[in-house]
Every structure is written in C-alpha cells, then in structure tokens.
Amino acid sequence: MEKDSKIYIAGHRGMVGSAIHRKLLKEGFTNFITRTSDVLDLRNQQQVADFFAQEKPDYVFLAAAKVGGIIANNTYRAEFLYDNLQIQNNIIHNSYLNGVKKLMFLGSSCIYPKMAAQPLKEEYLLTGPLEDTNEPYAIAKIAGIKMCDAYRAQYGCNYISAMPTNLYGLNDNYHPQNSHVLPALIRRFHEAKEQDAPSVTIWGTGSPKREFLFADDLAEACFYLMQNYNEPGLVNIGTGEDLSIKDLAYLIKEVIGYTGEIVFDTSKPDGTPRKLMDVTKLSKAGWKYHTTLKEGITFAYHDYLSKGVFVTER
C-alpha cells in the first residue's frame, strides 16, 4: 500500500476496524473511505455494488460483520449466518468487479473443529465437527476464506484471510448478553463494585481456556500482512498463550478492585474447551504481540469508563 492509496475499512467504527484505522493513520496513510451501517447496509447487494462502482478503492480491510459472544451466537443463529454471508459476498465480489488490488478478510478462531489438537494449526480447518453454539458464524467465516481463495484461483485476486483469536480493546461491545467474555466481565465487575454487590456471576464452569489479543496488536499484524503476505489459505493471529475463564475472571477482579465473591452459573454453555492458536507462521515472519493481558485489560477498562453512561452496546 502506498501512502495515498485509497483504503476502504469496512466496519471502521468497530473494535477491529477502528484499531486498523488508528494503525494506518499512525503509519501516515491519509486516503480513507468509510461508511456507517445506517448509510451503507453491507447486506444490500445493490447498495454495495453502487458504492464500489463510485468509490473504486485500491485496498479493502473487511472488518465489518455480525459479531458477538457465545450466547449471541447461539441466540441469533440465522442472523450470524445471513448477515455475515451477505456482507462478505457483497464486498469480496464487488472488490473483484472493481479491480481492488488487495483485500484482507477477517475470520475467527471458531472456524476450527471443536476438539482439534492444540495449538490450532491452519491445516486443521475442516478436519472435524464445529462447536455448535457458533456453527452458523463459523460456517460463514469458512465460506469467506474459501471465497477469497476461489477468487484468487479463478480471477487472480490477491485476497488474504487472517484468523484472529479472541480479541478485546478500545470500542469493544459491552452489551450484557451479546458481548464476549472479557468486556462482559469488565462491565459486570465494575457494576458490582459500584453497587457493592456481594458476588459476581461467571457463565459456565470457568474451566474453558481462551487466548486474548489486544485489538491494537491485531491491527499491527493486519498491517504487516497487508504489506507482506500474498498467499492463499489462512494465517492465525494470536499471542500463543491462554488461560482459564476462571483465571481471567480473577485477573479482571484484581484490575477493577472488586472485593466480593465469584460464583459460576453452570446453566450457561462453556463452548469450545480450548482454542489456542498456533502462531508459528506469523512469528517466523517476525511479528509478536506486545500488550500483556493485564495491561490490555487496564486500557480496555479505562476506555469503558471514558464512555460514561453510554457504552457501546451492539
């Protein structure tokens, strides 16, 4: 990408899209195209076709999607499949029709089989059944990867697929039910501290393990890949370290300074027992994350507090 390249960040207001935007601004890029979903509904084929014909971006970061935690995925199964298929089909196909030089598609670690060997290697894709709670979302993401590769094979498109692990950071989604675990617990421990509540409830058994990457570190990796990676297939992006949900809860409790008890609601699903990414591909290329989990939680908590009463709920 050149400094004056025309860059479209789909989902620029989201946690990942805004992190990518910050990174590109820091690197001196100036020529951005952005649209909010109320102006351009990426599920609408004609709106997207008209937008691409009019704007003809040189580069595309596809960070727009219907995203949420385990309960949201399992509740809105049709929307997670339909919205994500529509968004990615429209953006990938119209990028091809309008000569986009390079596109990055963002998948997720949930694309891998529920019981795959750990850490997860890229070649484990489609080697076993998926975790049921987020199967619709995972199927959509797998379709996106395959679509990028199919457009490379038939039309020579340089479209790459990045697979981030669980993410957190600035502009995260703090919706009490629809959010991911880390932002959900930041909000719940904060509110419990404010209300002097005797305990905080964690969903599930607390025994699943998860890996968490700060969104600004992800943006660094996305920038590196957009500048240097031109292969089919997928690239895992993660820290290579994980911890149990129980240990995460105690870490967030410590950062926020909550002194009550932690209880577990085992009526809620645990989901995949573990999904640690094998990050050999990227680490061989010299990329490594640098925001520790405790630092990142502190940054995210301050960002949450800075938003006052209005918190970003989606």
Closest CA to 236 of 196, 266, 280, 267: 280
CA dihedral 279, 281, 286, 287 (to 10 degrees): -50
- The structure tokens 């003809």 sit at 56
Distance CA 66, CA 283 (A): 29
Distance CA 285, CA 156 (A): 24
Separation in Å, CA 290 to CA 31, 225, 276: 28, 17, 17
> Which of ligand NDP, ligand F7E, none lies near 144, with the C-beta cut-off 5 to 8 A by kind?
none
Of 144 and 206, which has the nearer Cβ to ligand NDP? 144
Please tell me whether residue 270 binds ligand F7E under the rule CB under 6 A: yes
Do the annotations mark residue 98 as ligand-binding?
no
Kindly list the catalytic residues: 137
DSSP 25: H
Strands (E), 171-260: 199-203, 209-210, 212-214, 234-237, 243-244
Please tell me whether residue 15 binds ligand NDP under the rule CB under 6 A: yes
Please tell me whether residue 13 binds ligand NDP under the rule CB under 6 A: yes
Interacting residue with ligand NDP among 30, 36, 207, 228 (CB under 6 A): 36
> Which of ligand NDP, ligand F7E, none lies near 65, with the C-beta cut-off 5 to 8 A by kind?
ligand NDP
Interacting residue with ligand NDP among 7, 20, 60, 65 (CB under 6 A): 65
Interacting residue with ligand F7E among 87, 116, 181, 218 (CB under 6 A): 181
Distance CA 186, CA 255 (A): 9
Please tell me whether residue 144 binds ligand F7E under the rule CB under 6 A: no
Please tell me whether residue 70 binds ligand F7E under the rule CB under 6 A: yes
Contact flags string 86-125 toward ligand NDP, x per CB under 6 A: -x------------------x-x-----------------
Contact flags string 120-159 toward ligand NDP, x per CB under 6 A: ----------------------------------------
Distance CA 257, CA 24 (A): 35
Do the annotations mark residue 16 as ligand-binding?
yes
- DSSP string computed for 241-282: --EEHHHHHHHHHHHHT--SEEEEETTS----SB--B--HHH
Separation in Å, CA 35 to CA 42, 55, 130, 216: 10, 11, 33, 21
Q: At what angle do helices 293-306 and 181-195 cross, to 10 degrees?
A: 60
**Which tokens belong to 164?**
């981030």
Of 64 and 100, which has the nearer Cβ to ligand F7E? 64
Tell me the closest approach of the beta carbon of residue 16 to ligand NDP, in angstroms.
Answer: 3
Residues that bind ligand NDP (CB under 6 A): 11, 13-17, 36-37, 41-43, 63-67, 83, 87, 106, 108, 164, 166-167, 173, 180, 314
Residues that bind ligand F7E (CB under 6 A): 68-70, 73, 108-110, 134, 137, 166, 179-181, 184-185, 202-204, 208, 210, 245, 268-272
Q: Residues comprising the binding site?
A: 11-17, 106-109, 141, 164-167, 180, 188, 203, 210, 270
